Structure 1
Amino acid sequence: MDKKIGRLVLFFWLFQCSAIFAIYKILNTDIEIFNSFLIYITLWHSLLLLFLILHKGEFISVESNIALEKINLANGITLFRISSVPLIAFLLKQNEIENIKIVLAVVLILVFLTDFFDGLIARRFNQETKIGRMLDSMSDYSLLALVSIVYYQLGLVPNWFFYLIFGRLMFQALGMLFFILLKFPVEIKSTRGGKITIAATMILYSLKIMQFFVTLFSNFKELFLIGEYLCGFIIFVFLFEKIFIFYDHYKEYRKRNTES
């Protein structure tokens, strides 16, 4: 499995490097940004490779509890989404270039769609794995964190929405870290509320990118405002699901300590 993981991560690294090289040559983007992102992509994929090697024992089918002999399609799609985070950052960094906006919109929407297809394929073809659950959550949160920061810098989302979504992501990260320090980690997996929150935010962000292309955007201002408040309401409501999960996990931690 080590070699198969290494070959797949190498393929994704080559693909992402080739993508930003093509954009750099065709659109004549900034050479310094291009060079720095080559380094970022290499570091990102190195961390991804390290994580996969350390957790290779999690490539286990949820249904049969049998170890996989190769990385299945659903996991491959999820890994592609994680691999694409630096590419999206590269495009967002240079969004002022007119033609990059088109590439950015296409890439962002396609990557968001992979969040739907990997889960669909996993369920339909019985490809759900323990590592897949971990990777799915990691990819969703890392992608949303990146896009939220850049959208905030570009003024595409209001202050209150950025603080809400970023607060939700930070609460998730700090909660996981807290239990890791207690040596009683929470299992990394998607929840129903988490998936609804992520789906709603991805839909909003996909629509927001249309601000780059819709010249009469002012006509849709009220519609986007309603979308922001609706998405913000979803984020806020399902934050309590995560609070209850951490609370129940902490009670389990206390219970085990008391019994021991």
Structure 2
Amino acid sequence: MTTANKLTIMRIALIPVFLVVLYLDFAGARWWALGIFIVACLTDFADGYIARHYNQITNFGKFMDPLADKMLVMAAMCYFVECGQMPGWCLAIVLLREFAVSGMRLVAVEQGRVIAAAWSGKVKTASTMVCLCLMLVFQSNLLNVVCIAVIVATTVYSGIEYFAKNLDVFKEAD
């Protein structure tokens, strides 16, 4: 198993640890959860760099790396919806975009095409992770609104870009 894949597995393993710390709700729990979340986010950037730089790109990594990102982000967003820091419609928009783009990628694979991650998707992931970190630290209604706006705007924009650039995938589908 490659180092990049080990980092992806570590990110997945950190998700329940992150959630348990949040739900235990002891003094300083959010700071511990923030630290765990940041480490998990950093593994996302590290595994991608290591995979490209050291030629450790694998089918497992191509599949699990983006899935691990989605799992981490969705876990945090579910927590924020439950505790009232984020409206459910925000999570729904993110989920719908992820399902739509993943579905489009599956159709493309059936046609022998691979739809690589677009720059806007990387910006969406990074900005969402930063916003979730800010929401962990500061429980401010104004900051929550700004973070939600950033998350929704980058999610919608990147989703539209994926479909606009790859609409021909559906024209070629049976």
1:226 aligns with 2:154: no
Q: Per-residue CA shift, 1:96-126, capped at 9, x if unaligned? A: 3224333211111110111111112222223
> AA paired with 1:196?
V
1:156 aligns with 2:63: no
Could you tell me how far apart the structure 1 residues matched to 2:69 and 2:2 are?
19
1:83 match: 13
- Relative contact order higher in (CA < 8 Å, ≥ 6 apart): 2
Note if contact 1:91-1:100 (Cα within 8 Å) is conserved in structure 2. yes
Counterpart of 1:190 in 2: which secondary structure?
coil
Indicate how the Cα distance of structure 1 residues 170 and 153 shifts in structure 2: closer, same or farther if over 3 A, else same: farther
1:243 aligns with 2:173: no
Could you tell me how far apart the structure 1 residues matched to 2:147 and 2:42 are?
19
Unmatched 5+ stretches in structure 2: none
Unmatched 5+ stretches in structure 1: 1-70, 212-216, 255-260
Indicate how the Cα distance of structure 1 residues 76 and 113 shifts in structure 2: closer, same or farther if over 3 A, else same: same
2:64 match: 135
The TM-score with structure 1 as length reference comes to 0.57
Could you tell me how far apart the structure 1 residues matched to 2:66 and 2:119 are?
12
The TM-score with structure 2 as length reference comes to 0.80
Note if contact 2:31-2:137 (Cα within 8 Å) is conserved in structure 1. no
Larger radius of gyration: 1
Could you tell me how far apart the structure 2 residues matched to 1:123 and 1:83 are?
23
Counterpart of 2:25 in 1: which secondary structure?
coil
Indicate how the Cα distance of structure 1 residues 226 and 102 shifts in structure 2: closer, same or farther if over 3 A, else same: closer
Could you tell me how far apart the structure 1 residues matched to 2:9 and 2:93 are?
27
Instruction: Give the drift of 1:196.
Output: 1.8
Deviates more, 1:79-88 or 1:154-163: 154-163
Could you tell me how far apart the structure 2 residues matched to 1:185 and 1:161 are?
33
Residues matched between the structures, number: 174
Identity of aligned residues (%): 24
